[in-house]
Amino acid sequence: MGAYINPKNEEKEDFLKREGKRVDDDVKFEDIPEGSFLVVLVDNILFTAAGIAFNKMEFGAFTYEDDRYKEYFIVEKSKLLEVSDLEDYLKE
């Protein structure tokens, strides 16, 4: 299922604009700085989701080309830990 951001006091889009660095959709896993992860904001028509690509498999799943609109952000791990269940996934 993956790790997703879910800020309690703001919209995920606002969090990403404030804490993330927007990057092009051709970003590679190897381009992500140590201590950060790619977050993909996906428009699912009825709602948006912001998935955290915390490993190569998740990166492939979230960056897979399909017909949904996506935006890509690099966000520091410490910031993501504040607004997600990422820590649970990193223990596995």
The two tokens of residue 87 are 């820590």
3-state helix vs strand vs coil in the chain, percent to 5: 35, 30, 35
Phi, psi of 79, deg, nearest 5 = -70, -40
- Half-sphere exposure for 45 (CA within 13 Å, toward CB): 2
Return the higher-pLDDT residue of 44 and 1.
44
Number of domains in the chain: 1
In the prediction, which pLDDT does 91 show?
86
This prediction's pTM: 0.94
42-91 pLDDT tens trace:
999 999 999 999 999 999 999 999 999 999 999 999 999 999 999 999 98
∠ CA 35-77-83, nearest 5°, is 175
Per-residue confidence (pLDDT) for residue 1, from 0 to 100: 64
Q: Residue 38 belongs to what domain range?
A: 3-91
pLDDT at 18 over 80: yes
